[in-house]
Amino acid sequence: MIVLGIESSCDETAAAVLADGRRVLSNVVASQDAIHAPYGGVVPELASRRHLEMIVPVVEKALADSGVRLPDLDGIAVTQGPGLVGSLLVGCAVAKSLAYVHRLPLVPVNHLEGHIYATFLTDDPPEHPFLALVVSGGHTALYHARAPHEYGPVGQTRDDAAGEAFDKVAKLLGLGFPGGPVIERVAADGDPKAVMFPLAQMSDGAPDFSFSGLKTSVSLYVRRRGPLGRAEIADVAASFQAVVVKMLVRKTVKAALHHGVKRLVLTGGVAANGHLRQALEAAALEHGLRLHIPPRALCTDNAAMIAAAGTARLAAGARAPLTLNAIPDLALAR
């Protein structure tokens, strides 16, 4: 089965061709980082306009790179949500047009399930049941993947997403956008114990996350200390990153033990973070859990993961009518 995946939920315009749900024949990602960098975050209106400019060349390149012609496809998978509505609409419109013209099955994909399916593009895909930590710029949530396409809600952030916290703290430190990669780079020269930022605890013991208090602490620290030198910026970045990683690892392992699952999945843009990957790997080992993480390039937004989830959904008989619409707040768990 050969599937074209299309992803435009946030600020990456992406298309990929995937064979048999596993073999990535092409994977094209046009990043809008440079457009949003001056604002320190994604500007929705600019994002949708750029998607409009890029979507056709990106899809054409994905097809050309794969050597597959549109009529040879078995289906088209597109991100239906969650995401920015103006951005999602661009991908949905193109997917619907191609499906109509070439009489191809159309499959809607939940972006978060796409992130989880990035793990199925590795040589070591997870078996169900597993616990998935999806940690990105828009989401930070734990799901109990009981069986294929069956997700139970376990925990989520009560305020900012972890990636959003990285982006905001990078802005506070004058490090640029996106914040995650630059904080990770700068933190490599810093001392993670230099500043004791608070780790949020849920008074009700829920496996939920919270990052806004941490972000405020960093903001107050920066304001109090005045303009920071290079070494101090590295210390703040390292200390902040350490707290985020600690919170994510602690809650994930606790939830896995509570749900009695033996497998963990770590995915989403923040899963590209080396410290998080190492810390969760170490904790998983300590507690006898198997951890599955996609390669870094498949952690951040891409369309190969959408094609992977779409292939699984297609095989299970999912089809969308050409009236398919974007759903900005599409939920994954029921």
Which of 179, 190, 207, 294 contacts ligand KG4 by CB under 6 A?
A: 179
CA distances from 212 to 47, 83, 257, 267 (A): 25, 21, 27, 21
Residues within window 17-46 making contact with ligand KG4, judged by CB under 6 A = none
Selection from Zn ion, ligand KG4, none that 184 binds (CB < 5 to 8 A by kind) is ligand KG4
Distance between CA atoms of residues 62 and 89, nearest Å:
20
Selection from ligand KG4, Zn ion, none that 5 binds (CB < 5 to 8 A by kind) is none
What's the token pair of residue 298?
A: 């498949």
DSSP alpha helix (H) spans, 106-160: 111-117
Residues within window 79-138 making contact with ligand KG4, judged by CB under 6 A = 136-138
Asked if residues 311 and 21 have their Cβ atoms less than 8 Å apart, the reply is yes
If phi > 0 it is left, if psi is from -120 to 50 it is alpha, else beta; for residue 237 that is alpha
**Smallest distance from the beta carbon of 64 to Zn ion, in angstroms?**
25
Selection from Zn ion, ligand KG4, none that 86 binds (CB < 5 to 8 A by kind) is none
For Zn ion, the closer CB: 136 or 140: 136
Mask 247-266, x = binds ligand KG4 (CB under 6 A)?
A: --------------------
160 binds ligand KG4 (CB under 6 A): no
What's the token pair of residue 122?
A: 């590795």
Selection from ligand KG4, Zn ion, none that 273 binds (CB < 5 to 8 A by kind) is ligand KG4
For ligand KG4, the closer CB: 164 or 232: 164
184 binds ligand KG4 (CB under 6 A): yes
Which of 7, 113, 160, 167 contacts ligand KG4 by CB under 6 A?
A: 167
Q: How many CA atoms lie within 13 A of 129 on its CB side?
A: 13
Q: 32-69 in b/e burial notation, b at 16+ Cβ within 10 A?
A: beebbeeebbbbbeebbbbbbebbeebbeebbeebebe
Residue 14 DSSP symbol: E
Interaction site with ligand KG4 (CB under 6 A): 10, 136-138, 163-164, 166-167, 178-181, 184, 268-270, 272-273, 300-301
